[in-house]
Structure 1
Amino acid sequence: MQHARPLPTYLVQRYLGWKATTYKENRAWYRRLASEGQRPRAMVIACCDSRVQVTSIFGADQGEFFVHRNIANLVPPYEPDGQQHGTSAAVEYAVTALKVAHLIVLGHSQCGGVKGCLDMCQGRAPELEETSSFVGRWMDILRPGVETIDSLPEDQQTEALEKEAVLTSLRNLMTFPFVAKAVEEDELTLHGTWTTIGEGGLEAYDPARGQFRPVNPTE
């Protein structure tokens, strides 16, 4: 592959630092993970946004989370049409092969994908309407959710749609027969969460109240 190039020097240096410290100090654990295979307790579906570090937020150890990231942490509906579906494949593997106990959808504040969807649906991003736009066609998953936030003041719409993206993914997860079966048999629980990047806050969806509420250890 003639277009591939060597790694940037700063990444090489960081790798060498990791190998000499973190890996060296935990070599036995890494080798155990390699020999015994992965047994993650949970799958987390998060956004690609570089500011959202799933393992840091939840203090996860190596091998604890099966993480899948995409634009705006979206899960499409179940569509066994013979095409290529990366997110659906990840969900299938996590639930049917790894037998994760929890499936967490993690949304976040200032999500560029969600803002793009809102702009597209309100006529401010015609480039995303093009059939050639991968981002635009992916955000079509969230398009119906825009109707749920139309009546809100403009300065509240983006955050509301970010949370609607989490709920859309949860609803779509239940269209997967193997997910629905695992949930019904109490082998899997679904969770909706949303984090604020600047404040480090975390909200979880409370189905009893029908809203996201701050995670509070006293409750």
Structure 2
Amino acid sequence: MTHLPEHLLNGYRNFMQGRYASESGRYVSLAREGQHPETMIVACCDSRSAPETIFDSGPGELFVLRNVANLVPPYEPDGEFHATSAALEFAVQSLKVKNIVVMGHGRCGGIKAALSNNAPLSPGDFIGKWMSMIGPAAETVASSTLMTSSERQTALERISIRYSLANLRTFPCVNILESKGRLTLYGAWFDISTGELWVMNKDTGDFERPELD
């Protein structure tokens, strides 16, 4: 009898024999000296869009926060429990990251639910409440008859990224550091089916394919 699913144990075995064996010194150093990532990624918890895989990053290189639909709530110091805000505060004030990337992705289930009149959970449930942050934008996009359903989904996925970037700037620690040039915010969107990465133009808000050598 095992206490973990067999596929996880097999994966761990491969990790120990492969990546850990080749990078054991790096892991020892990270354990001794702590983490010092320069970049924080706010991504969706969708299993198909792992930032560490997409950006081919090693241990200690990225500070990753994953939640439903990669949303960042506005700054609300109300004494309640705020996991996303707490992770953001830690990354900015303790780790002193230099970059924050909000990365959405295609075929996002949370965005699909926000656009649907038949959302899988009631508004009183956790996901319904969470996705209500982009409710007005979802209603506007859903009402468009000039786009197909897939076009509406992609549109809201990208709008939600801009929404989260705007909310990031409501946090005093983010706003102050960005104004001083010590923190830079980025938006990105990953297409699961093609592997394409689209990056938000800071001046226009448009999503563009980066040039790769």
TM-score, structure 2 normalization: 0.93
Distance in 2 (CA, whole Å) between partners of 1:98 and 1:21 is 29
1:153 aligns with 2:153: no
Partner residue in 2 for 1:85: 82
| 1:170-189 aligned within 5 A | 170-189=165-184
| Aligned length in residues | 209
Partner residue in 1 for 2:71: 74
Report which stretch shifted further, 140-149 or 110-119: 140-149
Distance in 2 (CA, whole Å) between partners of 1:148 and 1:42 is 33
Distance in 1 (CA, whole Å) between partners of 2:180 and 2:123 is 42
Distance 1:82 1:209, change over 3 A: same
**2:40 touches 2:99 (CA, 8 Å); kept in 1?**
yes
Distance in 2 (CA, whole Å) between partners of 1:11 and 1:54 is 19
Report which stretch shifted further, 72-81 or 18-27: 18-27
Distance in 1 (CA, whole Å) between partners of 2:87 and 2:123 is 27
1:24 aligns with 2:17: no
Deviation at 1:28, TM superposition (A): 1.0
Deviation at 1:148, TM superposition (A): 4.5
Distance in 2 (CA, whole Å) between partners of 1:55 and 1:206 is 23
Distance in 2 (CA, whole Å) between partners of 1:212 and 1:185 is 25
**Gapped regions of structure 1 (runs ≥ 5):** none
Partner residue in 2 for 1:128: 121
Partner residue in 1 for 2:134: 142
Deviation at 1:53, TM superposition (A): 1.7
Deviation at 1:87, TM superposition (A): 0.3
Report sequence identity in percent: 43
Deviation at 1:17, TM superposition (A): 2.5
**1:76 touches 1:169 (CA, 8 Å); kept in 2?**
yes
**Gapped regions of structure 2 (runs ≥ 5):** none
1:206 aligns with 2:206: no
Other structure's SS at 1:166 match: helix
Other structure's SS at 1:26 match: helix
Partner residue in 2 for 1:54: 51
**1:51 touches 1:197 (CA, 8 Å); kept in 2?**
yes
TM-score, structure 1 normalization: 0.90
